Structure 1
């Protein structure tokens, strides 16, 4: 339940059960252009990697533009979501609500339900041997809003995901010492790409997606790892894992290497045991005295307001078709939106799920039999398990472009590249070589947007707008990119036309 619009991005310094929020200084890990909703441009003057306050402002502008504020019910908790007695015939749901100010409960009936709670609600807090003896503080990153609470303290941050990395950097600004504890290390990427260009704009393209299909993963991983190690040698910094870079969700952090190099953050192995005044790290005999331990250990996926059999969760594996729909419902009138961990921006992926669900409710998306849906769910789970290292954070992984194309194709919103090759080649090359911005999914199909083509061609101007007034682009990056395209053009073109 929230008292304001914005969900996770509505920062609050108060910890509330069932409510997550970013840290005070959180900035986006993906650029504004790739993170935008498909029919609503971010302001040109906004930073490419927006601060959480700017992202919240964008969400609120979106709500105002589409007149959504009137549907928002603040300070209201969803207690239960139950099927109607005649659900198999009418597909309706009874939703029990509680006013958090008065504790008064009410019940309403709906034709459909979309669950949009995300996956930062229920912290996963593992227990360690001897933890009950520890006299200091043990908290999850979920509870860390500002670093000031750790001023002058010795702090261990457990984990190597995005939240753990952010916490280590933020706390390192005020603590006397930070230890980053990781079981197996991890690959850390910076937001800055070649020549200072935003990395995701250079990486998340259809061209690179095609290359990912036809080139060996070991070759691609080797190239990426070489680029990462060129400015941040993971082995020298004690972070090189045994797994390859494509086997983990990327950890995005620009400042962590500097914090390690300056000694503000010291990398250590896993915690073997707690003592009354500290911890013992793997490979060490002596106790490291610490005042606090921060767990960046991820989240568990739960729906306490819903009957467990509707959305089964086993070891953080969620049984959902298209990562959205419970496959065994007699009436497909409930969906989970945004419970994904894409290799790309999450907001357009959640928007695509919402569009897909809306078209399903309108009768414009046809579902396969439940048995086929289960087969697809199982195949995707096996594919994830084959690629990624075993971890709670990897159970929701998805290829961003492939998943977006798959869902958009179900209702006619996937861009027809072959058509544009013959009718609009400038647009075709933007779609293939340029960043896979969400506006491409408004070029055609239901709720197509007349401004989509201009939005795609305007990406460069909006990226450079907050950087300089002369509109100078990343010229060296453009030259390198063009050279790569020329070298691979025939192979890639033949591949996707054949596919």
Structure 2
């Protein structure tokens, strides 16, 4: 018994995971799936990363209240845990966090997470060249007034899952320190209630967060309107039980109309942009993400010009950017930066949002734009992205000033491949899908299922990035996903479906939902095909519609099966009947020939007797 126990302890790899956001959770799941022992250390007292973080937490980023996912719920799902049917097509912040927590509960991940544990140092063990092990120093944080405890533990492998959204990047604009108004980063923005309706606000940056914050600020209220809003809501709540639905609706309408009459005229929200941007809506005829497939990726690689034209034709807005002061995209169509926002065009054309050129200088209460115009503002919001810092790892292992990660996961000087970085990228696509495949790929390397090339090969084939100098680590979504899936061994190929061409047609030409990467290889499951087939119907449909559709599909499959049996039976019957007719005809011909022979014999005999 003792021998078996010692053997188990010796052969089970211990993996340290830094961070319990999306990257950390899928890393724990991937380790458990392959039989590895995972221990996750999370700095904050909660699980979920930036989806759960609260404003003011040091070293972590929190998303603003009104954030909505840019991609539909099926593209944002984990490959082995689809979102509930009653979820909307695009999820608000709280609903997506609830889904993440249900994923954590479904696979029992919480027991492997140590909250309020800060990883302060990760260094190679003394016998690293032989074992590939790491010494991880962890500081256990206690509530205010308690003492901290530091501990160093040895692990066979380490997965760093802190992400790329922890340290806000503040641009170096001359005179910014002299500005007397409010200056905050998009990381610190919660909602429009932080600003008064009379305040003139300038948003610097035209990315996803810049457009979202600019449109949200259009709903800011004055102090008088906030008081009116609180009083009216309180009064209606007090008498709501005695009101009918029509009376309650009328009361809200009267309160809203009164608030508009007593409100103040709002100045526009200014948005400064340095480069061009394409702004897309979430539904341009169909939900964002449904056009992403293996076929479109091959089209992009083989015929890039044709692909760009088709992309522009499909998602192009036909919007005149220059007419409203927003720089038109400076790169080729489809290759320019883009943001997804449903309301931006409307607010821009109504004058509620005004685009202005790049900010060159800041003074006490105004900014100077690149065209020489001076604009008076009361607040600045910097939607200027994030810097990348990995303070727990020494620069000799990972140098963030010249970042070189093989396949955006492994440091190129990693001799043993036992240190993996998950989530250090930016992509115009589904982040959960990439995070999950990165984690599965790293675990395959830990186990020996996928072997890394030599350090020299990794060094020569990997591009160096300077993320803190504006050189972002961007990946081409579907190409990168296919590359990772090939390393994991879960990429469906034509060879696996050559006997089922219709299935391969759906895999290759259909939308690249995450369930595709559970059809074959490690971690495959039988339910994946049904999830892939019904994914499109679940995007807009209600639970009852999904139930009816699945019942119809099952009935249709049953009918097809019965039809095939009847067709085969009929074919067999017709074949047998044909053979029987053939032999019957042969028998009739033989019988008729016999009768004719007998008749001829009798005729001959009769003639001989007549003579």
Specify if TM > 0.5.
yes
1:200 to 284, 289, 310: 289
Alignment of 1:59-458 (within 5 A): 59-101=100-142, 102=146, 103-152=148-197, 153-174=199-220, 176=266, 177-194=268-285, 197-201=286-290, 203-217=291-305, 219-230=306-317, 232-239=319-326, 240-285=328-373, 287-314=374-401, 318-378=403-463, 395-420=472-497, 422-458=498-534
User: 1:307 & 1:25 partners in 2: Cα distance?
Assistant: 37
User: 1:136 & 1:279 partners in 2: Cα distance?
Assistant: 11
User: 1:37 & 1:394 partners in 2: Cα distance?
Assistant: 29
Deviates more, 1:24-33 or 1:237-246: 237-246
Report the secondary structure of 2:368's partner residue.
Answer: strand
Report the secondary structure of 2:334's partner residue.
Answer: helix
TM superposition shift of 1:222 = 3.9
For residues 90-134 of structure 1, give each alpha carbon's deviation from its aligned partner in whole angstroms, at most 9, with x where no partner exists.
222222222332333222221111000110011110121122221
Contact 2:273–2:356 (8 Å) recurs in 1: yes
Match of 1:482 in 2: none
1:128 to 1:61, Cα distance in 2 relative to 1, 3 A: same
For residues 353-403 of structure 1, give each alpha carbon's deviation from its aligned partner in whole angstroms, at most 9, with x where no partner exists.
11011111111111111111122213xx69xx9xxxx99666221122221
Match of 2:76 in 1: 35
For residues 11-63 of structure 1, give each alpha carbon's deviation from its aligned partner in whole angstroms, at most 9, with x where no partner exists.
52x31110111111111111111121111111111112111111111111111
Match of 2:591 in 1: none
Structure 2 residue ranges without an equivalent (≥5): 1-42, 222-265, 550-611
User: 2:488 & 2:317 partners in 1: Cα distance?
Assistant: 44
For residues 53-93 of structure 1, give each alpha carbon's deviation from its aligned partner in whole angstroms, at most 9, with x where no partner exists.
11111111111111111011112221111221222222222
TM superposition shift of 1:436 = 0.2
Report the secondary structure of 1:114's partner residue.
Answer: strand
Report the secondary structure of 1:236's partner residue.
Answer: helix
Contact 2:293–2:509 (8 Å) recurs in 1: yes
TM superposition shift of 1:274 = 0.9
Q: Does 2:52 match 1:7? A: no
User: 2:314 & 2:191 partners in 1: Cα distance?
Assistant: 33
TM superposition shift of 1:329 = 1.9
User: 1:108 & 1:452 partners in 2: Cα distance?
Assistant: 38
Question: 4+ residue stretches of structure 1 with deviation over 6 A?
Answer: 470-473
Match of 1:495 in 2: none
1:165 to 1:447, Cα distance in 2 relative to 1, 3 A: same
1:193 to 1:468, Cα distance in 2 relative to 1, 3 A: farther
How many residues are matched? Answer: 456
For residues 141-179 of structure 1, give each alpha carbon's deviation from its aligned partner in whole angstroms, at most 9, with x where no partner exists.
011122211222111101111111111111222173310
Give the helix-richer structure, 1 or 2: 2
User: 1:274 & 1:228 partners in 2: Cα distance?
Assistant: 37
Root mean square deviation of aligned Cα = 2.3
User: 1:392 & 1:432 partners in 2: Cα distance?
Assistant: 38
Q: Does 2:541 match 1:465? A: yes
User: 2:475 & 2:208 partners in 1: Cα distance?
Assistant: 17
TM superposition shift of 1:236 = 2.7
User: 1:180 & 1:392 partners in 2: Cα distance?
Assistant: 22
Report the secondary structure of 1:151's partner residue.
Answer: coil
Contact 2:132–2:156 (8 Å) recurs in 1: yes
User: 2:276 & 2:468 partners in 1: Cα distance?
Assistant: 13
User: 1:434 & 1:471 partners in 2: Cα distance?
Assistant: 22
Deviates more, 1:269-278 or 1:99-108: 99-108
For residues 244-287 of structure 1, give each alpha carbon's deviation from its aligned partner in whole angstroms, at most 9, with x where no partner exists.
243334311111111211211100001111111111111133x3
User: 2:481 & 2:48 partners in 1: Cα distance?
Assistant: 23
Q: Does 2:71 match 1:51? A: no
Structure 1 residue ranges without an equivalent (≥5): 474-499
1:233 to 1:28, Cα distance in 2 relative to 1, 3 A: same
